[in-house]
Each structure stands twice: as C-alpha cells, then as structure tokens.
C-alpha cells in the first residue's frame, strides 16, 4: 500500500494528464446521450464538491448550506439570461459574484461559530433561500420555476449539443481544480490547515482567523454559484426543488465519502455516489436501501473517506528524502 501511495505521489502530474485524456476520450468510448449526460452532471457535482471541500476539508468548518449558493448562482444566471439576454460570460461571472456576496454577508457574523452550531446556521440559511425562491413570484416565479433559459452563447457560437456541454464542463472542472489547488498551495491554504488543526495555535502565529474563514467561504460560494450558472443554462429550466437541504447533504456526503482535504478523493467520491444509484436503478425500491447500506459500511470501515488523511505532497517529500539518504 505504501509503495502504491509513493508511486501516486511521485507521478501526480502524469496521473492528472491521464485523467484529462480519459475525460476527453469518454464521449468517443461511450457516445450515448445518457452516458454523456451523466458524465456532464458528474462534472458539475465535482465543481460543487471541490468548492465545499475548501470550507469543510481544508478549514474544518462544517457547512450544510452549500446548495443555497448553488441556487443563488443558478437563479442569477437564469434571470439575467431570460430577462436581459446577457451572454454566458456575464451570467456566469454575475452568478459567482452574487453567490460570493451572499456568503460574505452570511460569513461575517456566523463564521465565529464552530462545529454543529455553524452547521445548523448554514442549514437554516439554505432553507431560507429555498423559501425565498419558492415565494418570490415576481422574481423567481416560485414553484413554477424559470423556463426557456437559453444555452450559453458567445460571439455567434452556441453550446447546445450534449457533447458540447460535456467538453464545456470538462474545461470548468479543470479550471476549478486549478483554482482550488492554487489556494491550497498558497499562504492562505497553509493558514486554513493551521486553523483546522488548532485555531488557538494558528492565532498565536499571527493568522487572522475570521479573515481567512470569510475569504475561503466567499471563494467556495462563488465557485458553487459558477456551477449553478452552468446548471441553469444546461437544464434550461430550474425550480426551488433542486436547491434544498437534501442537495446540500448529498454534496456533503460526497466529500466525506471521498475523503476530506483531498482533490482526488473528492472526484472519486462524486463519481461513485453519482453513478451508484444509476447502477442500482434496476433494483427498484431496494436501490436506496442498498445505497444507504454501502454508505454506512464505508463510514464504519474507513470513516476518514477513500483518500482521507493521505497527504501526497508529504509522501512525495518523504520518498525523495529516503532515496537521498540511500544514495549517501
């Protein structure tokens, strides 16, 4: 097992390139519209899960309201596209800004809370946003939802074929991974890890706890809003049922299953938990029971997740140090 982890740590770039090539070849190997649609939704959930893992995995803050920012982004993009005819560059950027602003206003007073207190506040916020979406008929059309959302278009080119949406989400996922990885490797990322391990010690070292928490909360929400904009223009219809607390909990389970503070783990967790219900669909009513039992078994056998507590950078450095020692 240690040799496998060492190999993975030494060849992260190669494995990333292989993963990208496989993603690009996927529609050629599985050309059916159903397969491409499922892969596209997987990509969207990877964006959501990676953004949530910034809060929960790296800064140690339990947030159960991520679907609220997803919904804010979706409705922002849908309203701007249907009422004002803006192209996707404006709708996507606006969705990220509005979701980030909502996170800033929520985060300033609430991120001083910890553990289950913060979880309850974010869960309540998610429900408030859903109720606003359900009852503000003049803006969101309530339970009727927003219809005929135009597909993304720019300079005369329109993304409307399933395979075009698929490659679009691949680009967005790569961009999200790059953003998250850059944050993790930056001074901010080091500060977040310090906060998650020991807030008192981090503060003693000069880390501005509230500033770092609010910063990552806003970035995470902006990425979720970006994913929401994609969802709205991909589905061409949205209503409040897609952005409830059940959606927040589903995203949370994905990052727990894959492993906190792990980008590869998050991706694997999303793929497994998105596709598993589809594979079990033939079992009718039993599929949800089996799905639940698999999750319970996973939490009992490996509670830290598939790739949780595995620091590939640290393993790589340890392996290189061991080789250097052997050469001496």
Q: What is the DSSP letter of 157?
A: E
Per DSSP, the three-state class of 152 is: coil
Tell me the per-residue pLDDT of 232-273, one tens digit each, with 9 for 90 and over. Answer: 999 999 999 999 999 999 999 999 888 888 899 899 999 998
pTM for the full predicted model: 0.89
Of 131, 101, 110, 132, the residue nearest 63 (C-alpha): 110
Per DSSP, the residues of 252-287 read: HHHHHHH-TT-HHHHHHHHHHHHHHHHHTGGGTTHH
Segments making up each domain of the chain, as ranges: 52-244, 259-316
What integer pLDDT is reported at residue 10 of this predicted model?
A: 56
Of 27, 40, 66, the residue nearest 217 (C-alpha): 66
What integer pLDDT is reported at residue 182 of this predicted model?
A: 95
Alpha-carbon distances, residue 14 vs 10, 18, 72 (angstroms): 9, 6, 37
- Distance of alpha carbon 146 from alpha carbon 157, whole angstroms: 23
Q: Is the confidence at residue 287, as pLDDT, over 70?
A: no
Per DSSP, the residues of 46-94 read: HHHHHHHHIIIIIS------HHHHHHHHHHHHHHHHHHS---HHHHHHH
> Are residues 77 and 95 in contact, defined by beta-carbon separation less than 8 angstroms?
yes
Q: Is the confidence at residue 5, as pLDDT, over 60?
A: no
Q: Is the confidence at residue 285, as pLDDT, over 90?
A: no
Environment class of residue 43 by beta-carbon count within 10 Å: exposed (0-12), middle (13-18) or buried (19+)?
buried
Mean pLDDT of 79-104: 95
Q: Is the confidence at residue 311, as pLDDT, over 70?
A: no
What integer pLDDT is reported at residue 30 of this predicted model?
A: 94
Q: Taking the CB of residue 322, how many other CB atoms lie within 10 A of it?
A: 11
What integer pLDDT is reported at residue 309 of this predicted model?
A: 57
Residue-wise burial string across 93-103, b where 16 or more C-beta atoms lie within 10 A, e elsewhere: bbbbebbbebb
Top pLDDT among 70 and 291 is at 70
What integer pLDDT is reported at residue 67 of this predicted model?
A: 97
> Are residues 257 and 273 in contact, defined by beta-carbon separation less than 8 angstroms?
yes
State CA 95 to chain mean position distance: 15
Tell me the per-residue pLDDT of 128-171, one tens digit each, with 9 for 90 and over. Answer: 999 999 999 999 999 999 999 999 987 778 899 999 999 999 99
Tell me the per-residue pLDDT of 10-61, one tens digit each, with 9 for 90 and over. Answer: 556 777 888 899 999 999 999 999 999 999 999 999 999 999 999 998 888 8
CA angle 66, 43, 15 (to 5 degrees): 115
**pLDDT above 90 coverage of the chain, percent:** 58
């Amino acid at each position: 097992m240690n040799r496998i982890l060492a190999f993975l740590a030494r060849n992260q770039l190669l494995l990333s390139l292989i993963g990208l090539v496989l993603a690009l070849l996927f529609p050629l190997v599985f050309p059916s519209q159903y397969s491409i649609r499922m892969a596209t939704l997987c990509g969207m959930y990877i964006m959501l899960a990676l953004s949530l893992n910034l809060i929960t995995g790296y800064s140690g803050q339990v947030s159960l309201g991520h679907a609220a920012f997803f919904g804010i982004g979706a409705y922002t993009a849908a309203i701007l596209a249907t009422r004002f005819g803006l192209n996707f560059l404006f709708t996507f950027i606006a969705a990220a800004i509005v979701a980030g602003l909502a996170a800033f206003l929520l985060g300033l007073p609430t991120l001083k809370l910890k553990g289950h207190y913060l979880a309850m506040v974010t869960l309540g916020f998610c429900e408030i946003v859903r109720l606003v979406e359900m009852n503000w008929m003049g803006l969101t059309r309530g339970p009727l939802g927003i219809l005929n959302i135009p597909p993304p278009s720019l300079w005369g080119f329109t993304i409307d074929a399933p395979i075009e949406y698929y490659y679009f989400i691949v680009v967005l996922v790569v961009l999200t991974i790059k953003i998250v990885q850059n944050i993790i490797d930056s001074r901010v990322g080091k500060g977040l890890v310090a906060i998650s391990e020991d807030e008192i010690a981090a503060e003693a070292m000069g880390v501005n706890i509230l500033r770092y928490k609010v910063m990552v909360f806003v970035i995470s929400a902006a990425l979720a809003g970006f994913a929401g904009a994609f969802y709205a223009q991909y589905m061409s219809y949205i209503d409040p049922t897609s952005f409830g607390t059940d959606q927040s909990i589903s995203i949370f389970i994905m990052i727990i299953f894959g492993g906190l503070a792990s980008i590869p783990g998050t991706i694997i967790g999303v793929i497994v938990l998105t596709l598993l219900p589809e594979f079990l669909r033939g079992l009718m009513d039993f599929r949800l029971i089996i799905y639940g039992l698999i999750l319970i078994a996973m939490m009992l056998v490996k509670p830290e997740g598939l790739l949780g507590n595995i620091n590939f950078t640290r393993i790589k450095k340890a392996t290189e140090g061991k080789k250097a020692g052997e050469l001496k």
